[in-house]
Structure 1
């Protein structure tokens, strides 16, 4: 029965994407089937094999070691602020982002990161039936972030069609930046975080190729990546340190605002309707939880967490999942964890629109015009990843 529900869930997600398609006759079926098979194989490999366990353990150990290094700097500056045995979220989860940002800067400065992004992007383009530029953008979004990636495409933004621009933005919203993966791993099991990174890469292409099908001509697919201004090593370090700090502060500020707002709204709803706002959202999202393979007894609570992620951001939802009073099964935790690892929320519409608009105002207005459709597609990609995982758990 579990497999029947999961397969039915995949069909429902593909149908929902097809309903929003701009050109249903141009949807390419073969690449979609190929990428679905790749997603299933990756899920089995990462979650159900010894080699997958070894790989995830190795990745987890790397991030744990990086977090240890980060804690050295944090302890020097903020040592003594926390009581013994306590682990304040800002110190243990957000501030390590600074150190990860520095490492990304070093890899960028040494030209290792651009080489990886171009190489993996070229390989992906052979599978997804899209252009090299779209594939590069998906990998670059994963490595440098959903807003920073557009800087590398500055020269090409003004030349892109609305269809290609949608796919680039959808990739940026469906993935997450490596700079905050370490933060996710402090709240979720690393195996689910790593699995989600791999699945979302293909899930974003699957949904985008249905919602937004188009053909890329060879002469339109030149991959000319904007080179960053050459900096000295220490100038680069200073820039990435400050960038990492800005991300930590912005995420912290958003968490304070969103969590406080959610608490206030819940209290008002409980006073008036004797039910919290999150519970109402839970009932609305329960059908989605069901098609993801989550049992009926857990669907409402799971739907509430899914809705929280959409309305606020993934950090708020992850905190709810890891620290809330939920009696979820191990399988449900795995499905929800994979669903939460993406930037598919309302605030991301503003972030991506702002990033593009700062580089090309006209194209930024185009992105704003399909913002809700962008969120719809990225959310479907997250749901699809959760369903794929439900097949193998």
Structure 2
């Protein structure tokens, strides 16, 4: 039965993308089928095999170590604030972003990260039927973040037609930044974080290939990656430390605002209608949760978390999942965890449009115009990843 629901869910996701397609005659189905197959294989390997378990444990161990190193710095500065035995969210989850940001800066400075991103991007372009720039951008988005990635391709931004710009932005919204992966791993199981990052990479190409199909002229597909202005090593360290701290502060501020707002709205709805706002959203998203393979008794709760992610952000939704995880089946927790690992929410439209506008006024306005279509596609990527995993769990 679960396979039948998963197949129906997969067909629904593809149909929803097909309905929004701007040129259905140009959709290339062979790369799409190939990438869906790759998603299924990778999900099975990462979640259901000993080899996958070893990989996940190794990655989780690396991030555990990084978080421990980050904790040394946090304890030195803020150690007296927390009560013994307690770990405030800002100190234990958000501030370690600063240290991971520094590591990304070091790998960037020594050209290790750009080399890796180019190599993986080139391999991906052979599979997805898209251009080298699109493939590089998808990998780079997962490494350096949805706003920072556009700096690396700023030489080409003004030259890009709208259809290629859409694919670049869709990749940025469908992935997550490596700097906050450690934060996610403190809230949901590392195996789901790693699996979601890997299959979202292909999911972004699948949905974009349907919604936004096009051919790339090889003469136009020149990958020019912008090197940052030459800095000394310690200048770079200072910049990435401050960037990491800004991210932590921004995420913290957004959490304060969104969590407080959701609490207020829930209370108002409860007083007026006798049901919380999240429960109403849960009923709206329940059919999608069912198609993702979640048991009928849990679809309303799961739908509420899915909706919370869309209207707020993934951190708020992960906190909601953590609060009710004990009352859900392990299958439901796994599927919802996969759905949550992306930047597909309303605030990301502003973040991406702002990042592009800072580099190109004209292209920033273009991104703002297709912002809702961008969010629609990125949400379908999350939906697709959850359906793929429902075959495996």
- Is the structural similarity TM-score above 0.5? yes
**Conserved? CA contact 2:60–2:190, under 8 Å:** yes
How far, CA to CA, are the matches of 2:364 and 2:290 in structure 1? 36
How far, CA to CA, are the matches of 2:323 and 2:119 in structure 1? 39
Aligned residue pair count? 393
Alpha-carbon displacement from aligned partner over 1:37-81 (angstroms, at most 9, x marks no partner) = 000000000000000000000000000000000000000000121
Deviation at 1:327, TM superposition (A): 1.2
Report 1:30-45 matches (<5 A).
30-45=30-45
**Aligned position for 1:21:** 21
How far, CA to CA, are the matches of 2:140 and 2:215 in structure 1? 22
Alpha-carbon displacement from aligned partner over 1:204-238 (angstroms, at most 9, x marks no partner) = 10000000000000011000111110110000000
How far, CA to CA, are the matches of 1:203 and 1:63 in structure 2? 25
Alpha-carbon displacement from aligned partner over 1:330-386 (angstroms, at most 9, x marks no partner) = 000000000000000000000000000010000001000100000000000000000
**Aligned position for 2:115:** 115
**Aligned position for 1:322:** 322
Q: Is residue 305 of structure 1 aligned with residue 288 of structure 2?
A: no
Q: Structure 1 unaligned runs (5+)?
A: none
Q: Is residue 363 of structure 1 aligned with residue 363 of structure 2?
A: yes
Deviation at 1:183, TM superposition (A): 0.1
**Conserved? CA contact 1:128–1:205, under 8 Å:** yes
Report 1:151-300 matches (<5 A).
151-300=151-300
CA RMSD in angstroms comes to 0.6
Deviation at 1:85, TM superposition (A): 1.0
How far, CA to CA, are the matches of 1:64 and 1:259 in structure 2? 27
Alpha-carbon displacement from aligned partner over 1:275-305 (angstroms, at most 9, x marks no partner) = 0000000000000000000011000000000
How far, CA to CA, are the matches of 1:42 and 1:331 in structure 2? 18
Aligned structure 1 segments of 4 or more residues deviating by more than 2 angstroms: 323-326
Alpha-carbon displacement from aligned partner over 1:4-34 (angstroms, at most 9, x marks no partner) = 1001100000000000000011000000000
How far, CA to CA, are the matches of 1:75 and 1:21 in structure 2? 51
How far, CA to CA, are the matches of 2:141 and 2:318 in structure 1? 21
**Aligned position for 1:81:** 81
**Aligned position for 1:376:** 376
How far, CA to CA, are the matches of 2:21 and 2:327 in structure 1? 38
**Conserved? CA contact 1:301–1:326, under 8 Å:** no
**Aligned position for 2:6:** 6
How far, CA to CA, are the matches of 1:333 and 1:168 in structure 2? 30
How far, CA to CA, are the matches of 2:98 and 2:248 in structure 1? 7
How far, CA to CA, are the matches of 1:341 and 1:364 in structure 2? 25
How far, CA to CA, are the matches of 1:288 and 1:87 in structure 2? 35
Q: Structure 2 unaligned runs (5+)?
A: none
Deviation at 1:180, TM superposition (A): 0.2
Deviation at 1:325, TM superposition (A): 6.7
**Conserved? CA contact 2:325–2:333, under 8 Å:** no
How far, CA to CA, are the matches of 1:230 and 1:90 in structure 2? 33
**Conserved? CA contact 1:6–1:291, under 8 Å:** yes
Query: With structure 1 as the length reference, what TM-score do the two structures score?
Result: 0.99
How far, CA to CA, are the matches of 1:291 and 1:20 in structure 2? 20
How far, CA to CA, are the matches of 1:159 and 1:202 in structure 2? 25
